[in-house]
Chains A and B, each alone.
Chain A
């Protein structure tokens, strides 16, 4: 019996390994074509991953990564005790929620209005202008804000003075910054973001619109009962996708609007990205920065998985994995 089984197993494993080899050989060119990309992601994305170890040590320059003392969860405990972690999480999530919800609603609003316009040239010009802010760098966004908000020369105080009101010191007032940041974000992204919804409206069958007109529906009824329900699935999918990134902040926007060293505004403007950046570039506290990053990554991962699970329930063909 044994003698019979033995060769059979051997030939099976041989066939399997030769099958694997053949698969490799048949795909060798395509594999080679992917190789640069694989190398790229190994170097720039996977190599830094073990660096999360920094979050569990008390990193100092002299000892380097491997000899610095291991402190387990002390860095996280420190961040929880001094309230930083809570403040950063709150700011990052609250800003993103405002961006996502207000952003999508405004994009839908603009797309619907654009669709109601009849003059082609007007639509073209308006769209071109509305996309413009999307194409400029974060640095220029900061300069524009300075043009408007600067205490001495800003347009805002100029206007306030001309109607007899006192000038305001925007750059030292924490309470106005959530509004400024959200408005700037909406200003920059609404035009470009509305394209998705505009394209979705274009996909609406014109026969349905005509039928509703024959049935006597007016413009308001058409928008409320046909266009908006038509956009609902797109809205839900985009919403769920952006929820996956709710722990990720827009560093360029915050850093350039608020300024590099405006400590007075941190309470309402500090997000995870700006905090990690500071701990790296100004405080040189690598371990604290890594701890916040790791917390962000793990928490964000859980949220993406949840969001994808929800997308899968809402519409399976749109889920990411």
Chain B
């Protein structure tokens, strides 16, 4: 017995183990740092004076420190606050409604005694195989649903996705059907069973799916760009950020409201400051919820 332990110890300190482990620490460290540094670059530049940027370029560490860009952003916070409210509103309403619909559909389609489950599942899945394309979709939303310049054009298309319904189905599969059956014998209706029994039992799944939906809405920018025109007063956060990044006039206009001389507007650092204010909260929030995303990808990875 003692010999065995001694032997296994000598194996554990084998040279190959040490090499692989050190190689792992080095490579993973480099990769993890490369994932962090770009964010520090944006943060650093947002705190640098415009003249230092013109001289030294973008940098991790501000050569000449200033909070001028943030001052302008916060002095006239109307648009930023408006964007935040729009995005939070769309995210909260969309996630609550979308989550309820995904869960309800996923549960019904997972019930073995539901006679139409296969046909409806295929009806939903088929939409990932074939689509009418962007142009008919655009015409539908703008001309037939008349949702141009309406936040509904951003909210509605993000409610459901076949991917999330399939994910919900695989979560529900782990709940024994006997629970539904015994509740039915006790006289409970299908909808009551879903609300009173299934929903409380699937809270981890609901957290995962809810976070997927919420992240989608928070980062949503494509439908906003398609359907919301530039002269809208308050636009979703990512579209606002996109406008700030791509249009110098947009920055100048918002800076003019804070009585800053045109030539003094810190164009570059204001882009970065806006990005920090728009993205910072999510990045601070995400380490607390990342385990739900991990669960989502391991459940939905192969069948999705």
- List A residues at the B interface (Cβ < 8 Å): 23, 26-27, 29-34, 36-38, 40-41, 43-52, 54, 65, 110, 113-114, 116-118, 122, 125-126, 128-140, 142-144, 146-148, 150, 152-155, 157-158, 187, 190-193, 195-196, 199, 213-214, 216, 218-221, 223, 234, 237-238, 241, 251-252, 256, 259-260, 273, 276-277, 279-281, 286, 289-290, 292-294, 296-297, 300-301, 304, 318, 320-321
User: 9 new A-B pairs (CB below 8 Å) besides A144-B38, A219-B17?
Assistant: A33-B190, A34-B109, A158-B56, A187-B35, A195-B294, A220-B20, A221-B16, A290-B135, A293-B132
**Residue in B24, B129, B160, B245 whose CB lies within 8 Å of A117:** B24
B179 close to chain A: CB less than 8 A:
no
Which of A147, A214, A276 counts the most chain B CB atoms within 10 A? Answer: A147
Within 8 A of A (CB), among B261-291: 268, 271-272, 275, 279, 282-283, 286-287, 290
A32 vs B20: C-alpha distance when bound (angstroms): 57
- List B residues at the A interface (Cβ < 8 Å): 8, 11, 14-17, 19-21, 23-25, 27-29, 31-36, 38-39, 41-42, 45, 53-54, 56-59, 101, 104-105, 107-109, 111, 114-116, 120, 122-125, 127, 129-140, 144-145, 156-157, 159-160, 165, 189-191, 194, 215, 218-219, 221-222, 226, 238, 241-242, 245-246, 268, 271-272, 275, 279, 282-283, 286-287, 290, 293-294, 297-298, 301-303
**Given A38-B123, A154-B58, A51 and B303 touching (CB < 8 A)?**
no
Please tell me if the beta carbons of A137 and B245 are within 8 angstroms of each other in the complex: no
Residues of chain A within 8 A (CB-CB) of B31 are 110, 126, 130, 190-191
Residues of chain B within 8 A (CB-CB) of A136 are 219, 279, 282-283
Residues of chain B within 8 A (CB-CB) of A300 are 129
Residues of chain A within 8 A (CB-CB) of B108 are 30-31, 33-34
What are 18 sample pairs from A and B whose C-beta atoms fall under 8 A apart? A32-B191, A46-B127, A51-B139, A51-B140, A54-B136, A136-B282, A139-B241, A140-B275, A143-B241, A150-B58, A155-B58, A223-B20, A234-B302, A241-B302, A277-B134, A281-B226, A290-B136, A320-B125
Residues of chain A within 8 A (CB-CB) of B272 are 143, 147
B223 to chain A, nearest CB (A): 11
**Given A37-B105, A38-B120, A135 and B282 touching (CB < 8 A)?**
yes
**Residue in A27, A32, A144, A234 whose CB lies within 8 Å of B42:** A144
Please tell me if the beta carbons of A51 and B122 are within 8 angstroms of each other in the complex: no
Please tell me if the beta carbons of A117 and B131 are within 8 angstroms of each other in the complex: no
Please tell me if the beta carbons of A153 and B129 are within 8 angstroms of each other in the complex: no
A162 to chain B, nearest CB (A): 10
A237 vs B139: C-alpha distance when bound (angstroms): 37
Return the 3 tightest CB-CB contacts between A and B, nearest first: A51-B136, A293-B133, A48-B132
Please tell me if the beta carbons of B301 and A50 are within 8 angstroms of each other in the complex: no
Q: Which residue of chain B has the shortest Cβ distance to A119 in the bound complex?
A: B25
Please tell me if the beta carbons of A153 and B268 are within 8 angstroms of each other in the complex: yes
Please tell me if the beta carbons of B215 and A135 are within 8 angstroms of each other in the complex: yes
Please tell me if the beta carbons of B28 and A126 are within 8 angstroms of each other in the complex: yes
Majority secondary structure of chain A interface residues (helix, strand, loop or mixed): helix
Please tell me if the beta carbons of B137 and A152 are within 8 angstroms of each other in the complex: no
**Given A52-B132, A147-B45, A190-B31, A137 and B238 touching (CB < 8 A)?**
yes
Residues of chain B within 8 A (CB-CB) of A320 are 125, 303
A85 vs B189: C-alpha distance when bound (angstroms): 54
Residues of chain A within 8 A (CB-CB) of B120 are 34, 38
Residues of chain A within 8 A (CB-CB) of B131 are 45, 48-49, 293, 297
Please tell me if the beta carbons of B165 and A37 are within 8 angstroms of each other in the complex: yes
A148 vs B137: C-alpha distance when bound (angstroms): 36
Residues of chain B within 8 A (CB-CB) of A290 are 133, 135-136
Please tell me if the beta carbons of A114 and B135 are within 8 angstroms of each other in the complex: no
Residues of chain B within 8 A (CB-CB) of A114 are 24, 28
**Given A51-B132, A135-B286, A154-B58, A126 and B32 touching (CB < 8 A)?**
yes
Residues of chain B within 8 A (CB-CB) of A276 are 133-135
Please tell me if the beta carbons of B21 and A117 are within 8 angstroms of each other in the complex: yes
A289 vs B134: C-alpha distance when bound (angstroms): 8
**Residue in A37, A223, A238 whose CB lies within 8 Å of B302:** A238
Please tell me if the beta carbons of A129 and B271 are within 8 angstroms of each other in the complex: no
Q: Which residue of chain A has the shortest Cβ distance to B192 in the bound complex?
A: A29
A65 vs B144: C-alpha distance when bound (angstroms): 13
Residues of chain B within 8 A (CB-CB) of A47 are 132, 140, 144
Residues of chain B within 8 A (CB-CB) of A38 are 120, 123
Residues of chain B within 8 A (CB-CB) of A223 are 20
Please tell me if the beta carbons of A196 and B301 are within 8 angstroms of each other in the complex: yes
Please tell me if the beta carbons of A126 and B29 are within 8 angstroms of each other in the complex: yes
A148 vs B44: C-alpha distance when bound (angstroms): 13
**Residue in B38, B194, B283 whose CB lies within 8 Å of A33:** B194
**Given A51-B140, A296-B133, A113 and B160 touching (CB < 8 A)?**
no
Residues of chain B within 8 A (CB-CB) of A33 are 104-105, 107-108, 190-191, 194
**Residue in B14, B36, B130 whose CB lies within 8 Å of A129:** B36
Q: Which residue of chain B has the shortest Cβ distance to A259 in the bound complex?
A: B246
Please tell me if the beta carbons of A113 and B35 are within 8 angstroms of each other in the complex: no
**Given A41-B123, A140-B241, A195-B297, A52 and B36 touching (CB < 8 A)?**
no
Residues of chain A within 8 A (CB-CB) of B27 are 113
Please tell me if the beta carbons of A49 and B298 are within 8 angstroms of each other in the complex: no
A137 vs B238: C-alpha distance when bound (angstroms): 7
Please tell me if the beta carbons of B35 and A130 are within 8 angstroms of each other in the complex: yes
Q: Which residue of chain B has the shortest Cβ distance to A155 in the bound complex?
A: B58
Please tell me if the beta carbons of A196 and B132 are within 8 angstroms of each other in the complex: no
A153 vs B116: C-alpha distance when bound (angstroms): 60
Please tell me if the beta carbons of B222 and A251 are within 8 angstroms of each other in the complex: yes
